[in-house]
Amino acid sequence: MPEGPSIIILKEAVQQFKGRKILSASGNTHAIELAKLVNQKIIDFKSWGKHFLICLPKFTLRIHFMLWGSYSVNEPLKKNIRLHLHFNNGDLYLYSCSIKVIDEDLNLVYDWSGDVLNDAWDENKARKKLKAQPDQLVCDALLDQHIFAGVGNIIKNEVLFRIQVHPESIIKLLPPRKLTALIREARNYSFDFLEWKKAFVLRKHWLVHTKQICPRCVIPLIKKHLGKTDRRTFYCENCQELFAERTTLNAERSKQKTKYEYLKAKKTVKKKARKPTS
């Protein structure tokens, strides 16, 4: 699934069509009558998180690539074309995506300050939104598009490794410096992602996503589907700290520890007790 930075790359790839008229439109989309697109001029291309927005004079086409969507410019790459827009200087092809028509003013539909890659991104607003959902797990919070529009599963895994926070940590139990790091790195990593993806070196920079060994501790990483979002999560149990209330497992562990300490103490007492006689 394309994450926010990939949509920025798409936006840059189609700049040649800005200001051009759609000469013909085809494809298997049922979202709009294709004839309505012909002769419409592209006013702008915008993005909000994972949404790619084709702005026309009277309405906007919202493209969401879901899990398997893709696009190509000038050359068709696949057979099942959802939407093909033909211009006098080239072609745009969209595949396996969801298309929706937005009639409203985009500024009323989208909160641009919630998009991690937008100039309007607002850290304080993100903090407020996080605090309003105190019981959320960090792995779910990062994927919440109302808080971090544009963040996807790769960014989630890499950000949590970067800030050394366990994915099952609970928002309200994060120390303030970790909460700040979470918000800041969600944006920073997204820009790194964008830069690496443009240079075709993104995978090379993955530290935990799809990896098996922790580069910090050189021990096996854990791979689990975690949180309400149930997405693949890669993390290190050793260097990513868990900020959570004691689970039954932790309570059990601490019970064992107490028992062990009790026995150890008893032994010491015995030893001490024996000492004078020896």
Q: d(Cα 59, Cα 55) in Å, to the nearest integer?
A: 7
Q: How far is the CB of 223 from Zn ion (least distance, A)?
A: 14
Q: For residue 16, what are its two tokens? A: 């040649």
Structure letter (DSSP) for residue 215: T
Q: Which residues contact 253 (CB under 8 A, 6 or more apart)?
A: none
Q: Which is nearer to Zn ion, 116 or 138 (CB)?
A: 138
Q: Which is nearer to Zn ion, 98 or 164 (CB)?
A: 164
Taking residues 55 to 94 in sequence order and writing x for each that binds Zn ion by CB under 5 A, - otherwise, the string is ----------------------------------------
216 binds Zn ion (CB under 5 A): yes
Q: What share of the chain is helix, strand, coil (3-state, %, to 5)?
A: 40, 20, 40
Q: How far is the CB of 164 from Zn ion (least distance, A)?
A: 8
Q: d(Cα 156, Cα 186) in Å, to the nearest integer?
A: 8
217 binds Zn ion (CB under 5 A): yes
98 binds Zn ion (CB under 5 A): no
Q: How far is the CB of 185 from Zn ion (least distance, A)?
A: 17
Q: d(Cα 6, Cα 14) in Å, to the nearest integer?
A: 13
Q: For residue 4, what are its two tokens? A: 């926010």
239 binds Zn ion (CB under 5 A): yes
Which region, judged by CB under 5 A, interacts with Zn ion, from 89-97, 113-121, 145-153, 238-246?
Answer: 238-246
Residues of this chain that bind Zn ion (CB under 5 A): 214, 216-217, 236, 238-239
